[in-house]
Amino acid sequence: MDKRYLYVFNKEGDYKSIIALINLDERIRYLNIISGVLVIEADCDYTLNEFENFREFVLGELLVDFIGFFIPKDFDFSIEELKVIFEKINFGIYDIASFIMEVCLNKYDNFKKKLKSFYYNLVGIENINTALGFIDNNFNASFTSKQLYLHRNTLNYRLDNFVLKTEMDIKSFKTAIALYLLFKR
């Protein structure tokens, strides 16, 4: 069974009580602390909503807050690179779209360039341009396929491929903003 990884960053650096609560849930496992970031392995079907519920439980029971990052499966960045951003952002749980927004809005330009390069390599320029065209055309597939001179099935294939590889819902407003900030700004 595939695994998913979650990163937890506590600005005080105390993870003992959080690890104790992790050990109570059989779907998540404490792996290690790397560069001050707690690495958790989760079952592949562990959801963002469950991670948010875990944070609320930790906050309510221990009065400890943290930054959580719900790592996409093919995300390829070092913990050290991410920690620099974790130290500056607000507490909360971040999926990739909200993380991209934080990077772009707070002008972490070097990391933004790395994210752009990563996504160009992951899905290709055609799929990114297709996704941006779909957003430009107000999520209207018929109009997008006409404007991009694509068959409707080709458009759907590219959008499905984008969603599968990036784990970002192309029809989500939050994802649309994140993609615009990353690729058009």
Segment 113-130, tens digit of pLDDT: 999 999 999 999 999 999
Q: Is the pLDDT of residue 46 over 80?
A: yes
**Buried b / exposed e along 100-118 (16+ C-beta atoms within 10 A):** bbbbbeeebeebbeebeee
Q: Is the pLDDT of residue 90 over 70?
A: yes
- Average pLDDT for residues 66-89, to the nearest whole number? 92
Mean pLDDT, the chain, whole residue set: 93
Number of neighbouring beta carbons within 10 Å of residue 145: 20
Name the strand (E) or helix (H) holding 66.
none
Number of neighbouring beta carbons within 10 Å of residue 73: 12
Nearest to 82 by CA among 13, 36, 46: 36
pLDDT for 185: 77
Which pairing describes strands 92-94 and 67-70: parallel, antiparallel, or unpaired? parallel
- 174/98 Cα distance (integer angstroms): 7
What's the pTM? 0.90
Classified by CATH at the fold level, domain 3-94 comes out as: Alpha-Beta Plaits (3.30.70)
pLDDT for 74: 84
